[in-house]
Structure 1
């Protein structure tokens, strides 16, 4: 952010003026931001409390796919939808024009950027990278009492309110209990435990995919990788080979640049799920499908034990 200005690409969701510009509240053409905006007022109440937002009946995702929304969720979904989609990945791979396991300097990491609303709508949003020949979950309907964002989240802090859960999930007494909830008997992670919470199934799948990605990066792409969740672009060269992201490695100049199409796809899906900490609630089936299929894709080139794993 330079000179107190929010860049054009960020202004839509990180400033009141940018959000109003995107909505057309200021009289400008809607669905685009004209340029950098002043950040001095931050996100003010009027950002979301305005008549224009009340009239929105459709929200368009980065994929170009749109969904009808006749609820207050529209004001959340305009921003909490990410910035990339499977289309971004497909275009990148098409431009590179190389086989699945061939390195190309035309490939790079693409970041979905906080995809909560997109996760909830699953394949109807086109957010995750969906593998050819596979079927994917669409909108995930939780229940009639938890169908809106604000049915579970505080309107202004986004914090999940426990009372919204414990009327049905009797064991949920505090936030740490959320991950213990389960609605399927399928063993997604193949560990033989079908009583653990679905959040733990998702976490185990993410961990397996992450390990497979590191193995692929080292043995197929030919360059070890490390990950730092707090620092963009998150994936860096493991220059000392110790498997840990050290301070000297976590910087833009050392970003990972040894990409193949197969690695781009799997990393995108891993981060897609990572960037929605509540994916196991918003749409656990879609999240698990993306992780499972990415693992299966990598299993074609590196050793991945998928025995006992059931795809949703």
Structure 2
């Protein structure tokens, strides 16, 4: 506990240059905040998020923004350098600590540029969260990878990965173009909740990061967020009009997975399997059993029979998979992406979204 109090006081002094008297007065609440942070993914020192580069001896500049507090301070210009760029690698061992969010540079940040190149403002306190939780790809990036290619297997193609926990891209919908958006279709924009629940930290504990469901129950009459419905329609067409929108999205996501498998086997003539925790996520199904075997989850066995149509759908499959809270962040956008992806593959396989209703 003494160590936590010392760390809490240090956070106040480093992040805000407060007086010692104020630090002592604030130490109580800071202890709770530090305890919550210590139990959060931002402080999980042994996780892949902070150890991936150990063999390299440093965190690369392009990764340091979101995988170290030193990097994000550099990116925001809080270290006196130009904002918008980390210009040098960062030493190993850094975490996302107090100074990542509690700094003068972070407090005035109000606009964020997404991988699509679109800058979105009026983000308030959520802006610093969105610097990192936006993914690293977009609809535009997928389109760029497909320029000049016919809808056939191409050795030039590799999987395009959104990256992880791209909640801000989900939230902003078509304003950020985080998912692959099919030409001729319209897509939902930013999912605007009620005013008192419209920032990252009104739903997530700012230090522990976990979702706080209790306030939601006041309106939704349940603390089980996955049970909340946002529309009366049976969106996934399974006949269950009582399940939450999270279940409907999960059902459509499973259907897309089946459509991807069918297309890969029937059209690309090379079966694949998906591995949520093994890069690059899609692998060749060497024995055709529909399951990922230990010897198959290796980079040399990465799936390499991509067609443009298959890649677009797989990108959206991964986009949904890597934001487990998308049912709360932007359910309409998620449903639109899933139904459009299923229907696009269905033009070749006959697998369609069936009775699904596109909002």
- Settle same-fold status: TM greater than 0.5: yes
Aligned equivalent of 1:145: 196
- Give unmatched runs, 5+ long, in structure 1: none
From 236, 256, 260, the counterpart of 1:213: 260
CA contact (8 A) 1:238 1:249 kept: yes
1:182 alignment partner in structure 2: 229
Query: Which whole-Å CA distance do the structure 2 matches of 1:50 and 1:85 have between them?
Result: 29
Post-superposition Cα deviations, 1:131-179, rounded to whole Å, max 9, x if no partner, equal 111110001012122101111101122100121211112122xxxx211
1:98 correspondence with 2:149 = yes
Q: Which residue of 1 aligns with 2:38?
A: none
Cα offset, 1:3, TM superposition:
4.8
Q: Residue 343 of structure 2 contacts residue 352 of structure 2 at CA under 8 Å; is this kept in 1? A: no
Find the aligned partners of 2:94 and 2:326 in 1 and give their Cα distance: 32
**Residues 65 and 202 of structure 1: CA distance in aligned 2, closer, same or farther (over 3 Å):** same
CA distance in 1, matches of 2:324, 2:175: 20
1:158 aligned residue: 209
Partner of 1:7: 60
Indicate which of 277, 288, 294 corresponds to 1:230.
277
TM-score calculated relative to the size of structure 1:
0.95
Equivalences for residues 269-284 of structure 1 within 5 A:
269-284=316-331
- CA distance in structure 1 between the partners assigned to 2:353 and 2:264 by the alignment: 19
| CA radius of gyration, larger in | 2
Q: Does 1:306 align with 2:306?
A: no
Matched, 1:196 2:243: yes
Residue-by-residue CA offset, 1:110-130 (whole Å, 9 max, x unaligned): 110121011001000111111
Q: Which residue is equivalent to 1:110?
A: 160
Q: Residues 226-250 of structure 1, C-alpha deviation per residue, up to 9 Å, x if partnerless? A: 1111111111011111110011100
> Where does the alignment leave 5 or more consecutive residues of structure 2 unmatched?
1-52
Aligned to 1:53: 106
User: Which deviates further from its counterpart, 68-77 or 108-117?
Assistant: 68-77
Write the distance in 1 (CA, Å) between the matches of 2:136 and 2:144.
15
How big is the shift at 1:22? 1.1
Moved more, 300-309 or 285-294: 300-309
Cα RMSD of the aligned pairs, angstroms, is 1.2
SS at 1:307's partner residue?
A: coil
| Runs of 4+ displaced beyond 3 Å | none
Tell me if 1:84 matches 2:137. yes
Q: Secondary structure at the match of 2:220?
A: coil
The normalised TM-score by structure 2 is 0.83
Q: Does 1:261 align with 2:312?
A: no
Partners of 2:76 and 2:315 lie apart in 1 by 29
2:134 and 2:70 mapped to 1: Cα distance? Answer: 19
- Higher relative helix content: 2
Encode CA deviations 1:94-122: one digit per residue, 9 max, x unaligned: 1xx2222x111111101101210110010
Contact 2:67-2:94 at 8 Å conserved across structures: no
68, 71, 74: which one aligns with 2:124: 71
For 1:305 and 1:75, the matched residues in 2 are separated by 40
Distance 1:45 1:78 in 2: 16
| Map of 1:243 onto structure 2 | 290
Q: In structure 2, which of residues 187, 205, 224 is the aligned counterpart of residue 136 of structure 1?
A: 187
Higher relative contact order (CA 8 A, sep 6+): 1
245-254 or 32-41, which deviates more: 32-41
